[in-house]
A and B are shown apart, each in its own frame.
Chain A
Amino acid sequence: SAVISQKPSRDICQRGTSLTIQCQVDSQVTMMFWYRQQPGQSLTLIATANQGSEATYESGFVIDKFPISRPNLTFSTLTVSNMSPEDSSIYLCSVEGWSSGSSYNEQFFGPGTRLTVL
């Protein structure tokens, strides 16, 4: 299993500013995923971050708006740039790992960062 922490846990930001969210994992992982969970909506994948390469963004998400860093195998950051109220959401990072006694490569999630943009 993997234990994931995120900072900050929540923040209230002004329109036009940027916020960087940190994700720390207690073990080395190859891939990290960043999801967005908007009110009443499903978790939506923003991008996949591999250490040592550029992040891969899903349709509808661009690097200028959501730049990602992956400096090592246990850490990643997601920046929400030039924020607007539509960016108000919960942002979650996720990693894969093998559960004890399982043949399935499970995805573990951090507690999330609750962002409100005024």
Chain B
Amino acid sequence: QKEVEQDPGPLSVPEGAIVSLNCTYSNSAFQYFMWYRQYSRKGPELLMYTYSSGNKEDGRFTAQVDKSSKYISLFIRDSQPSDSATYLCAMSRRSGNTPLVFGKGTRLSVIA
């Protein structure tokens, strides 16, 4: 079993739809949970991070972490064509001096 599982998609939605992206993990030591966005031919960029369990909202994006279920989610409201990218979940045990463990990434297309 991989440490982090993520459905690679692809996922195609119409503009304005609510998008739900998810990851599951097996290592209970993970404390930091990140979502990265990667546009074609670019490096990943951090979209949001969450420490431990709970919700975090930033504009149209909401990240949720359920440590009891080892399940994290990213919701995108009012999706836009500019949201079309690959979304990677990532996790780590601590903040700083530690590599990240990534999911495979979900390729999202938002159709105008």
- Residues on A lying within 8 angstroms of B by beta carbon are 4, 30-31, 33, 40-45, 48, 58, 92, 96, 99, 103-112, 114
Contact = CB atoms under 8 A, between A and B. Distances in A.
Interface residues of B, number: 24
- Give chain B's interface secondary structure class: loop
Given A48-B99, A105-B96, 10 more contacts: A40-B104, A42-B6, A42-B104, A43-B44, A43-B88, A92-B43, A103-B95, A104-B95, A109-B45, A110-B43
A112 B43 contact: yes
Nearest to B104: A42
B34 to A, nearest CB: 8
**Residue among A41, A43, A108, A112 facing the most chain B CB atoms (10 A cut-off):** A43
13 contacts: A4-B43, A30-B97, A41-B104, A42-B103, A42-B104, A43-B44, A48-B99, A58-B99, A92-B44, A105-B97, A106-B49, A111-B43, A112-B43
Interface of B: 2, 4, 6, 8, 32, 41-46, 49, 51, 88, 90, 95-97, 99-100, 102-105
Instruction: Report, nearest first, the 6 A-B pairs whose CB atoms are least far apart.
Output: A109-B43, A105-B96, A43-B102, A42-B102, A42-B104, A105-B95
B4 A42 contact: yes
Given A43-B44, A112-B42, A33 B99 contact: yes
A38 to B, nearest CB: 10
A16 to B, nearest CB: 27
B105 A42 contact: yes
B91 to A, nearest CB: 11
A104 B105 contact: no
A96 B96 contact: yes
Contacts of A106: 46, 49
**Residue among B32, B99, B104 facing the most chain A CB atoms (10 A cut-off):** B99
A57 B44 CA distance: 22
Nearest to A112: B43
Contacts of A48: 99
